[in-house]
Amino acid sequence: MSHLIKNGRVITAEHDYIADVFVEKDKIMTIGQNLKVQADTTIDATGKYVIPGGVDVHTHMDMPFGGTVSSDDFETGTRAAAFGGTTCLIDFAIQTKGQKMREALDMWWKKGELATIDYSLHMIVTDLPEAHMEDMNEMVREGLTSFKLFMAYPGVLMVDDATIFRAMKQTGENGALVCMHAENGGVIDLFVQKAIAEGKKAPIYHALTRPTTAESEAVNRAIALAQMAGAPVYIVHLSSADALEKVSEARDKGIPVYAETCPQYLLLSIEDLERPNFEGAKYVFTPPLREKWHQDKLWEGLKKNTLQVVSTDHCPFCFKDQKEASHKFPTAVRVSRIASN
Ligand SMILES: [Zn+2]
């Protein structure tokens, strides 16, 4: 099967021009102007960009959360991704406390059978007794090479520093990568409890109870732990200038730290959480939206390669469900649970 995509705008490392792209057996064979080749199909891309398929390294399809499940499963989510030009995504298998990682992984591979594009998985580790260490090595040998740990959500997903250190020590040896959700969950929970006691329950308090310092502290700690463990670390969904500064400082020293941000942090701000009639709830996710000036710093971080990746952290919940959940659950639970990971 071959395709000729004609007259699209093609940007390569060298050129930005109107060109034809000839694809044969899923491989780009030639890019050039007025290609004279025979193809099974010809597509007119006049007025359009021709870009390679995107890889979204951070999504949550069919993810149980707070008594509900993220509203896209692997079928609808990957179909939507394909429409947007994303041809591969990496989701997360979640190990619940006491569960074997292998069991969780098998469950998520099964969910993924519905996928319509390429996909892979990271492994979320919530429990790492000594007996499970070998499981990590086994997964790496099978090709699953990234493990995500949480410094937030105490009692649910959060692990302590010793666990993070041990996981990093292991990945330092087996060549895998630890991905960190870096926010100081213990302190955030105290802020949340205080806000609720004072009756401060509007969506804006989701951001006000998760300050940027809680993120930068955790990023800094994650980097220090990685350094002590002799392993690289990858910070997921970095949202603030304070946290970015910690990554930048470490990278300047040559420490192997990598980080991603997401479109929501580049394009939206804390003001969106203040939209009237509970509309602000549509902008609740974690880490929360920041003051607008952080956006410029993040864009700069991308330009300077302090941030290496843009992912979506796609983890959708329907507005209606959220509203209903807000009535069903005590607010303390709701505040931490309607957030995405
Ligand atoms: Zn996430």
| Per-residue pLDDT at 10 | 95
Alpha helix segments (H runs only) across the chain: 74-83, 101-111, 133-142, 161-174, 185-197, 204-208, 212-229, 241-252, 263-267, 293-303, 319-328, 331-337
What whole-number distance in Å separates Cα of residue 212 and Cα of residue 245?
11
Give me 190's structure tokens.
């105290």
Q: Cα of 214 to ligand 1 centre, how many Å?
A: 17
- Per-residue pLDDT of 35-60, as tens digits, reads 999 999 999 999 999 988 899 999 99
| Per-residue pLDDT at 44 | 97
Q: Cα of 16 to ligand 1 centre, how many Å?
A: 34
Residue percentage of the chain with pLDDT more than 90: 85
| Phi, psi dihedrals of residue 115, rounded to the nearest 5° | -60, 140
What whole-number distance in Å separates Cα of residue 308 and Cα of residue 300?
12
Mean pLDDT, rounded, for 54-67: 92
Residue percentage of the chain with pLDDT more than 70: 94
- Cβ neighbourhood burial of 171 (10 Å; 0-12, 13-18, 19+): buried
| Per-residue pLDDT at 340 | 43
- Per-residue pLDDT of 185-227, as tens digits, reads 999 999 999 999 999 999 999 999 999 999 999 999 999 999 9
Q: Cα of 58 to ligand 1 centre, how many Å?
A: 6
Task: Tell me which residues have their CB within 5 A of the ion that is ligand 1.
Answer: 313, 341
Question: What's the pLDDT band for 323 if we cut at 50, 70, 90?
Answer: low
| Per-residue pLDDT at 332 | 36
* Maximum Cα interatomic distance, the chain, rounded to a whole number of Å: 72
Question: What's the pLDDT band for 326 if we cut at 50, 70, 90?
Answer: low
12's CB contacts (< 8 A; 6+ apart) are: 31
Q: Cα of 141 to ligand 1 centre, how many Å?
A: 25
Q: Cα of 153 to ligand 1 centre, how many Å?
A: 13
Q: Cα of 43 to ligand 1 centre, how many Å?
A: 36
277's CB contacts (< 8 A; 6+ apart) are: none
- Per-residue pLDDT of 81-117, as tens digits, reads 999 999 999 999 999 998 999 999 999 999 999 999 9
Q: Cα of 339 to ligand 1 centre, how many Å?
A: 10
Q: Cα of 38 to ligand 1 centre, how many Å?
A: 44
Domain boundaries, the chain: 2-44, 54-337
pLDDT value at 324 more than 80: no
Q: Cα of 59 to ligand 1 centre, how many Å?
A: 6
Residue of 221, 208, 271, 217 whose CA lies nearest to 242: 217
Side by side, which strands form the sheet with 177-181? 54-56, 86-94, 118-124, 146-150, 177-181, 233-235, 257-261, 309-310
What whole-number distance in Å separates Cα of residue 27 and Cα of residue 157?
41
Tokens 């959060």 belong to residue = 158
| Per-residue pLDDT at 12 | 85
Question: What's the pLDDT band for 14 if we cut at 50, 70, 90?
Answer: confident
What whole-number distance in Å separates Cα of residue 143 and Cα of residue 287?
29
pLDDT value at 334 more than 50: no
Angle between helices 241-252 and 212-229 (to 10 degrees): 20
Q: Cα of 169 to ligand 1 centre, how many Å?
A: 23
What whole-number distance in Å separates Cα of residue 24 and Cα of residue 35?
14
CATH class, range 54-337: alpha beta
Calculate the alpha carbon distances from 190 to 170, 193, 288, 329, 331 in Å. Answer: 32, 5, 16, 19, 14
Residue of 144, 228, 136, 213 whose CA lies nearest to 182: 213
Question: What's the pLDDT band for 331 if we cut at 50, 70, 90?
Answer: very low
| Phi, psi dihedrals of residue 299, rounded to the nearest 5° | -60, -45
Q: Cα of 180 to ligand 1 centre, how many Å?
A: 10
Q: Cα of 245 to ligand 1 centre, how many Å?
A: 21
What whole-number distance in Å separates Cα of residue 335 and Cα of residue 196?
9
What whole-number distance in Å separates Cα of residue 19 and Cα of residue 17?
6
Q: Cα of 85 to ligand 1 centre, how many Å?
A: 20
Q: Cα of 203 to ligand 1 centre, how many Å?
A: 19
Mean pLDDT, rounded, for 53-78: 93
Q: Cα of 21 to ligand 1 centre, how many Å?
A: 35
Q: Distance of alpha carbon 247 from its chain centroid, rounded?
A: 17
Give CATH for domain 2-44. Answer: 2.30.40.10
- Mean pLDDT across the chain, nearest whole number? 92
Q: Cα of 286 to ligand 1 centre, how many Å?
A: 8
Q: Cα of 34 to ligand 1 centre, how many Å?
A: 44
Q: Cα of 218 to ligand 1 centre, how many Å?
A: 16
